Amino acid sequence: MQIVYFILALLAFGTGHFLYRLWERNESIKRMIKWAEGNQYTIIDAVSRRWAERPGFFSSSMLQVCFHVKLRELGGRERECWVRLGGYFSGLLSRNVDVFWVPTV
């Protein structure tokens, strides 16, 4: 009987984790689009970076969502930046948006 409870708990945890990841993905995309529109940028490309290289690796937590973003300004100039969403301990429960611009040559 204990194995049944264990399997049910595992299924509940897995379902909860899946639903959280789905919410996190949708929420982070919505916030990034809202940030870009608020600053009058057009997003050309955006890639989520959870495990790979990202800015401020030691000052970021795994609760924060980072995107490498290529965007276009109103004047037509294209730029690249890193957008980090969420707080260090609170993740996306925080409304923080940090931007790290990639230097252009």
Four-point Cα dihedral 87, 36, 50, 94, nearest 10: 20
pLDDT for position 63: 85
User: Domain range for residue 55?
Assistant: 2-101
Give the single-character DSSP code of 57. G
**CA-to-CA dists, residue 44 to 4, 70, 100, angstroms:** 49, 5, 17
Question: What is the domain count for the chain?
Answer: 1
Burial of 66 (0-12, 13-18, 19+ CB in 10 A): buried
pLDDT, tens digit, for every residue of 89-104? 998 889 999 999 988 7
- Residue-level pLDDT at 58: 64
Query: Does the pTM exceed 0.85?
Result: no
| CA dist list (Å): 50 to 42, 64, 66, 67 | 23, 8, 6, 8
Q: Look at residue 51 in the predicted model and tell me its pLDDT.
A: 66
Mean pLDDT is lowest, of 6-15, 29-38, 84-93, for: 84-93
